[in-house]
Amino acid sequence: MRLTSFTDYSLRVLIFAAGHPDDRVTVQETATFFRISPGHAKKVVLTLTHAGFLNSMKGRKGGFRLALSPEEINLGDVILATEPDFGLFECFLPANTCRISRPCGLPNIANDALAAFLEVFRKYTLADVLISPQYFALAPVSATQPSRGPVLPRPTTAARVRRGR
């Protein structure tokens, strides 16, 4: 399963805002810190504001901050508010043209997998992933960071044999 960049950026924006609890954060500061376009950051902030996760203020002294405490922001709820369709297979999308979608069993399995995926995120809140505010004041690091995942189980024996392993 893969989340969109929009959801990834949404979670980062919330972490960034939580790392500045006494300040309003601007879209430009956020975009600069995460090296994303200000336009994309603005869309993320607008979506999170409409969903009730952020309070935003316009104007010269504007910016945004968390609308709720980090303990009240459920990560599963953020994902549900920011993912557009969870289109794991074509048959999950409105313009489905798959000729085997009616008898196919994959959608049932995918729905179970998606429910399990979201259930894991629903166990956690923003408070569980907070970063020390001092981290945000550090000098910029190189563009490439070490990969932190995924950690996947090895395929079953049958799958390894078919793949020639």
Which domain, by its residues, includes 73? 5-86+125-138
Residue 55 included in any domain:
yes
Task: Give the model's pLDDT for residue 139.
Answer: 57
pTM for this one? 0.84
Task: Give the model's pLDDT for residue 5.
Answer: 95
Look at the block and give the residue holding tokens 């969109």.
4
Most confident among 61-65, 94-98, 116-120 (mean pLDDT)? 116-120
Residue 108 included in any domain:
no
Residue 147 included in any domain:
no
Share of the chain above pLDDT 70, in %: 85
Total domain count for the chain? 1
Residue 58 included in any domain:
yes
Residues 33-80: tens digit of each pLDDT: 999 999 999 999 999 999 999 999 988 888 999 999 999 999 999 999
Residue 144 included in any domain:
no
Residue 115 included in any domain:
no
Q: Which residues pair with 63 in a beta bridge?
A: 57
Q: Is the pLDDT of residue 161 over 60?
A: no
Q: Which of 54, 52, 137 is nearest to 42 (CA)?
A: 54
- 23: domain CATH number? 1.10.10.10
Residue 100 included in any domain:
no
Q: How far apart are CA 43 and CA 5, in angstroms?
A: 12
Average pLDDT, the chain: 88
- Going along 50-96, which residue ranges are E strands? 54-57, 63-66
Over the range 66-104, which residues count as b (16 or more CB within 10 Å of their CB) and which as e? Answer: bbeebeebbbbbbbeebeeebebeebbeeeeeeeeeeee
For 63, the 3-state DSSP assignment is: strand
Q: How far apart are CA 11 and CA 8, in angstroms?
A: 5
Residue 68 included in any domain:
yes
In the chain, how many H helices and how many E strands? 6, 2
